[in-house]
Structure 1
Amino acid sequence: MIYTQLKGVKCVILDVDGVLTNGNILVTDDGNQLRTFNVKDGYAIQYAIKQGLDVFVITGAKSEGVKIRFQGLGVKEIFLGISDKLAVLEDLLKKYNHALEDVLFIGDDMPDYICMQRVGVAVAPADAVEDIKKLCDYVSKFKGGEGVVREVLEKTLRLQGKWHVDVLTTSV
């Protein structure tokens, strides 16, 4: 059934910590918070955008580095320091004229729960909290920061006939 749902996806919402990262944050002596991102996730994000999917980031993280990373990948809307993710999701749906059933949300922890309950496709990394995994349409075989986003975007684009191996040459 997940494959049928992925065919209709027009919008992808991503959490950051625990989805695009492994959830670990290195805090420097001057208070900067450092994260690592998987380059394969990044490639899939920029390619999905080029293929017409709307990809947005809604996160509780407040790091300027997070914003810079996703701007560099072509993400149009990046929301940092968000506690009410549902309000942001609803605003995005209105602004970009998407229905809830057209949205795929990848989250890993309780701040993502209410959004994931409402969207058309809810996905979690293998190491997401149990309450999140229970409500998901699909739980990835990958842990957060280890290619979850790449796996799901590639599956989605392949099912939509938009994953073109002969033109996958753009670097990240």
Structure 2
Amino acid sequence: MEEKSYKEHLKHINTFIFDVDGVLTDGSISVTTNGDMLRTMSIKDGYALKTAADAGFNVCIISGGTNEGVRIRLTGLGITDIYLGAHNKIEQLDDYLNKKGITPEHVLYMGDDIPDFPVMKRVGLPCCPQDAVPEIKGISKYISHKKGGQGAARDVIEQVLKVQDKWNSNFSAKYD
């Protein structure tokens, strides 16, 4: 889809929903000798997530992963709606939208792999990192120039906040 059409959607977004592995991380894990699985997340993505939450946007995480360290990190950024162990992401999406009274056309969802496909078909602005699988790229209205775990979430959050004049105003309010 051409760039202009996805930018039109940015004005109406009030909710960000992200997958974790492959979106907020690069999709790789390090396994320690005692079986702990370690992930790396971008500080820049974290800043953008916190900025969006502080600016009054709904921010939600729906992930098939179950790492409680991920929950601790995201909770520390002010994200309270975190669904881990989500094997059927549509159920969590419906629960979240119903609980918050959000309509799907106001939702930006960023996913990278097949489990994200059904959710991405339901939301107003399906997005993906540059390194998403072809099936996800094929249904995305926006494909970030950034890879998962390397600023893809920051990319879409910053675009939405800038279009809605909430990026600079948020920055100015904190640093004036």
Q: Once the 2 structures are TM-superposed, how far is the Cα of residue 168 of structure 1 from its aligned partner? A: 5.0
Residue 110 of structure 2 corresponds to residue 110 of structure 1? no
**Distance in 2 (alpha carbons) for counterparts of 1:133 and 1:123:** 8
Of the candidates 29, 33, 38, which is equivalent to residue 29 of structure 1? 33
**Distance in 2 (alpha carbons) for counterparts of 1:16 and 1:123:** 14
**Distance in 1 (alpha carbons) for counterparts of 2:32 and 2:116:** 27
Q: How does 1:42-81 map to 2 (within 5 A)?
A: 42-81=46-85
- TM-score, normalised relative to structure 1: 0.96
Q: Which runs of 4+ in 1 moved over 4 A?
A: none
Change (3 A) 1:98 1:150: same
Q: How does 1:1-172 map to 2 (within 5 A)?
A: 1-164=5-168, 165-167=171-173, 169=175
5+ unaligned residues in a row in structure 1: which ranges? none
Partner SS, residue 17 of structure 2: strand
**Distance in 2 (alpha carbons) for counterparts of 1:124 and 1:168:** 30
Deviations 1:98-126 (A, max 9, x none): 00101100000000000001100000000
- TM-score, normalised relative to structure 2: 0.94
**Distance in 2 (alpha carbons) for counterparts of 1:133 and 1:168:** 36
RMSD between aligned alpha carbons? Answer: 0.9
User: Which range moves more in the overlay, 159-168 or 41-50?
Assistant: 159-168
Q: Once the 2 structures are TM-superposed, how far is the Cα of residue 23 of structure 1 from its aligned partner? A: 0.4
**Distance in 2 (alpha carbons) for counterparts of 1:83 and 1:122:** 19
**Distance in 2 (alpha carbons) for counterparts of 1:168 and 1:45:** 16
